[in-house]
Structure 1
Amino acid sequence: MSLKRIYTITGMVIAALVLGVVLVTSWYTVDESDQAVIITFGKVEEAVQEPGLHFKLPWPIQHVEKLSKETFSLHIGTDDQKGKMKRAREDSKMITGDENIVIADLVVQWKITNPKKYLFHSENPKEILYDATSASLRSIIGSSKIDDALTSGKVEIEAGVRELLTTLIEKYDIGISILAVKLQDVELPNEDVRSAFTAVTDARETMNTKKNEAEKYRNKRLNEATGEKDAIILKATGEKAARIERARGDVAVFNKLYEEYQKSPAVTKERLILETLEQVLPNAEIYIMNDDGNTMKYFPIRPLENEAPKTEAPKEEEKGAQQNE
């Protein structure tokens, strides 16, 4: 075989290899769950978000980096080992604002929103995210009291961690967006401390219950006293109005009597005396008496008053008989 033929065959083989490389590396596919970045001689082009088959210049002119669109989870305080979550004690220990040690577990949901920045703005964006999350959690826990961290303050802690973490990630500009922050659990470091804190919490709950019961009883008694006060005021107001009207009536009667007294003083005086005696002694016997020094003569009034109706009845019967005749 001649040298020329060898060169020819070698050239054809190289050309075939180059053509194969060009054909193989000029096309790429993007899945629905992926996003791609095209790099031309080290220069990053715009990201490709649409799924399907796409064309590019062959390698080594251009090459493609693919990243997932899915949502990732970052765990603080636990490790994912073979699908099972295991607590990382040292990683989750932190100090509260009132200098107590707690163990906090946190989960951060995040995704890649800018593949270009994720690939080339930092060497290890996942490590940056982890450190920023840990720093944010420790900062918020460090400014919170242990009671808030263990009981009712978890929502505020979650909100504070998310706000601080989002600010840090935007500042670092690594192409990541924070979707959610969930504080899984906050507890004390050992059983003795947990038991003591549980006892304190139970005592505090009992205290609050007693306070609520006392406040309820106070409100009940206060409402009853208010009702009694209002009733007394209404009764006194009614009595006041009645006495005023009664006084006005007495004044009117007095004025009328005074007018009569001015007209005939003697008669009015005698009538007032008789009416007063009638009111003071309603059942007293009345006699008209005449004493000449020897024999007392009297004229009984009450018996005559009692007999008057009996004497009038026959007169009415006699009148009826006369009419019949």
Structure 2
Amino acid sequence: MFTGLSAFPLTPLTATGGDEKSFVRLIERLVNARVDSIGALGSTGSYAYLTREERARVTRLAVEHAGGTPVMVSIGSLRTSDVLHLAEDAQQAGVSAVLLAPVSYQKLTADEVFTLYETVSRHLSVPLCVYDNPGTTHFDFSDELYARVAQLPAVASIKIPNLSADPQATRARLNEIRTLVPSHITLGAAGDLAAATVLTQGGDVWYSVIAGLFPEIPVAITRAAQSGDEAEAQALSAQLEPLWVLFRKHGSLRVVAAAAEILGIVCAPCLPLPLHALAGDERQRLAEVLRELNLHA
């Protein structure tokens, strides 16, 4: 479950609610590309903007159309009681795993975050991936907290942010974390830009935004890394540099949403307000990049 390529698709919306037809189409693209797992309702899937009922429906659709590909869904929410309800919904839908970030309005303490994971862990029958995402949660995991949380029985993987594209730095960081956590815990890249480096320097899994829309090249990068072909993995990642430029400037969600709209894979607009996909000159530049890279519907 927590190795290889985990693809995180959009949850496309319309003015009246979820765009279920487009969402199913996205899931089918991932199945056809043979990704290793599907991460529905991640940050790319706009989970924080959806109601419990909307999230339950999306979860059921993902599992129903995944064709046996393991599905993980986010259960992050402001209140622990809500997280537990979401965990129950996800497990009833038949997910293979859940993803949990310490979402909060008030800045959390390390003890509060540990208690969250400890409480949720007691109510799970499926494994949990710890989502360390300081860019949205504004909470930074310490190595000590990694070690504490990793001892909980449900925890099976950690999605690690801000790993370097420098091979030596990345290998050193991964090795450092491995000394703190049980051997069964897998370590994964939370960002697309350094993922090829992470996979070739000892990382176990790529939790990928770009794979949620365009899975073929990420699958090829992952397979090259798994076979030990570092040069090929890095070369394939370098091909996507025009996209990485836009990711760095605008964030991955707005870029991927705009790409899906441009290609007609989803209806426009597809993001929950007040979020907007790229517009104007930057949207035009993205359209040019998609043509240059031969990325299509």
Superposition TM-score, scaled by structure 2 size = 0.17
Q: Relative contact order (alpha carbons < 8 A, sep ≥ 6): 1 or 2 greater?
A: 2
Structure with the higher strand share, 1 or 2: 1
Structure with the higher helix share, 1 or 2: 1
